[in-house]
Structure 1
Amino acid sequence: MKANNERVIGLRERKKAKTMAAIQMHALRLFREIGYHSTTVEQIAEAAEISPSTFFRYFPAKEDVLLTDNYDPLLIASFEEQPANITTLQAFRNAVISAMSNISVDELATVRERNMLIVTVPELRGAALNNLTQTMQMIAEMVAERIGRKSDDLEVRTFVGAVTGVNISMMFYYAENPEIDFARLLDEALSKLEGGFSL
């Protein structure tokens, strides 16, 4: 019974992710064609062949179409599966690369385009900072649970700041260099963090 429930949940999550991706794809096309500020939720919904109310079930506001994704559950699940005999940084690095392997080339292109818009639209930068704060708290809780500490532990917070900084830096680098293999780039950057710097 549990296996069936997990399969149903898995199918539901995949369907949700597919719908989210479709909405984002149409939104990005409209943002390219008529600009972020000129595009309305109603236009996005019409392009995606959904109702505005369905749009708001997936995204609380227009800016969330650029800030929301379905990758956090992949990261959490992979992190929790990492063996106990490796360092927390190794576990995080493995989890990130595993989660990245589930992202298609088209989805990566969407990620890049979303990042470019976040960088260029001032109000999106502020919203992105709030979203980033939530992501950092999620990582802190993941790490704290693994090592048996509190999420506000100084070392946990330092770890979260380091890996988040690497991820942000590489996302911007990828936005400017779309020909690069993003998963490999991120893996290399995290490996440098793991090995220390010679700078």
Structure 2
Amino acid sequence: MNRVFEDVDNWLNLKQMPKGKQKVIKAAMTLFSQYGYHATSTAMISEESQMSQATIFKYFESKEALLLVIIKPMIEHVLPTYGQDFVAEIKNNGGDLEELVHFMAYDRFYFLKQNKDAAMILITQVLNDDSTRNMLLEKIELFKKTFANELWSVLQDTDELRDDVTLEDFIHVFVGQIVFYFVQSQRLIVVDDEKIIEKQLDKIIQNVILAIRKQ
């Protein structure tokens, strides 16, 4: 089980739950990440968990309620826990703009890859569900000043950023390309060859640098 899912176990207090409820949640996490929320039926969750559908609805009034039990702790904990860790690593890494972007691109891509199932659930729901997207955006706003601005100040300190580039511009360029390649390489056309992954990440880094660095 990957790092985020290990933490999700703790966030959900799975050990305090009845065994049947634990099995339903773990089965749902696996299936939602593999097939998506809408394509996963309660019958599939029943088969994966080896719990009857009656048992599933005993614990959760609907499939949506089951999803929220999984999604809410991820949103509540992923940003503050892993976002602050990431900023601390960036500050310790130092270097010029290209070195920083290189570190960030590799670090965030492999974070997503290591936690592929949890990441896929979040990304899919954010793209397809307004309520999930709003929950995530609210959490981003709460923590924007605490670590996004700190991250931005590290990049600004290189004195290599274009004057007209904003934090929002950087997030749009950087996150958009990293997330798109993650979904493409880990779900659409699965890539296991590390050399191919690194070659594509290096291209993304150069695209980001061209978009934000002074000429």
Tell me, yes or no, if structure 1 residue 167 matches structure 2 residue 175: yes
CA contact (8 A) 1:27 1:65 kept: no
Alignment-derived partner of residue 126 in structure 1: 134
Alignment-derived partner of residue 142 in structure 1: 151
Alignment-derived partner of residue 97 in structure 1: 106
Q: What is the distance in 1 between the residues matched to 2:90 and 2:128?
A: 32
Alignment-derived partner of residue 21 in structure 2: none
Alignment-derived partner of residue 8 in structure 2: 20
Q: Secondary structure at the match of 1:71?
A: helix
Q: Which amino acid aligns with 1:112?
A: M
Spell out, residue by residue over 1:52-102, the C-alpha distance to the aligned partner (whole angstroms, 9 max, x if none).
xxxxxxx9x76423434243133112201123x412x53143134235445
Tell me, yes or no, if structure 1 residue 86 matches structure 2 residue 96: yes
Alignment-derived partner of residue 8 in structure 1: none
The structure with the greater share of residues assigned to helix is 2
Number of residue equivalences: 159
Identity of paired residues, percent? 8
Q: Which has the larger radius of gyration?
A: 2
Q: Given the two structures, how large is their TM-score scaled by the length of structure 1?
A: 0.55
CA contact (8 A) 1:112 1:174 kept: no
Report the aligned-residue RMSD: 4.4
Q: What is the distance in 1 between the residues matched to 2:62 and 2:117?
A: 23
Q: In structure 1, list runs of 5 or more residues that go unmatched.
A: 1-13, 45-58, 149-153
Q: In structure 2, list runs of 5 or more residues that go unmatched.
A: 13-24, 46-59
Q: What is the distance in 1 between the residues matched to 2:165 and 2:152?
A: 11
Runs ≥4 residues deviating over 6 A? 14-17
Residue 134 of structure 1 and its aligned partner are, at CA, apart by 4.2
Q: Which amino acid aligns with 1:139?
A: A
CA contact (8 A) 1:63 1:127 kept: no
Alignment-derived partner of residue 86 in structure 2: 75
Query: Which one scores higher on RCO, CA 8 angstroms, separation ≥ 6?
Result: 2
Alignment-derived partner of residue 53 in structure 2: none
Residue 118 of structure 1 and its aligned partner are, at CA, apart by 1.8
